[in-house]
Amino acid sequence: MKLFLSTIALILISGCSVVGQDNVDTAPYNLLESDKSLNIEVRNYESMVLVSTSMSRDGEDNAFRTLFNYIGGENEGSTEISMTAPVIMDSDKTREKGTEISMTAPVFMNENADTPSMSFVMPKDFTLKSTPKPTNPNVRVSELKDYKVATIQFSGTLSESNVEENTKVLRDWIVNSKYTAKGEPVKAGYNGPLTLPWLRRNEILIEVE
């Protein structure tokens, strides 16, 4: 039963629908440049507080579940904050709940780091200091400041072929621009698993200077 409920929760966490509509806020950024013909943007995220966990041990599904449990209350806190989307949790009344935190898109997946990781972005009113401390030692909190990235947006799934194709387009664009790549590609997903593939918003981000 718990597996069923957690699976439903993963579907509902994004407030997703088959038509791609959701109620999840997106991380704010400043748009520095745009190439609409290729769906490429250069952005600067002034500050993002991230909660992250490793994908190397259990893969994407379990990493997502670990982070979902964190924003669902597996943290040190006392003030309840309503989730953006409906969430079904297991019915274990003995577990002491911490702060429930709204989810912000996108979900970042960095597979090129020494330790592949998945990250959720905290809502914009959270600071590094005010973000509740995780009770799971596999979850860590960090802050990105002045994160300047070139991004490419595409639909479909985050399949290996889709990611490779769009990463190449983005890399070629950077080579011919005034920017220089200083980081490896990071995948970002904005929609839940029920969203029709052609209505999904996916992105590849490469840090630039």
Closest by Cα among 133, 167, 132 to 150? 167
Give pLDDT tens digits for 33-88. Answer: 999 999 999 999 999 898 889 987 656 778 888 888 888 888 887 444 333 322 22
Domains of the chain: 2-207 (3.20.80.10)
What's residue 22's pLDDT? 57
How high is the mean pLDDT of the chain?
79
pLDDT reading at 193 higher than 80 = no
φ and ψ at residue 181, rounded to 5 degrees: -70, 135
Residue-wise pLDDT for 99-124, tens only, equals 778 878 888 888 877 788 888 888 88
Q: Quote the CA–CA distance of 207 and 16 in Å, as a whole number.
A: 28
Q: Look up residue 72 and give its amino acid.
A: G
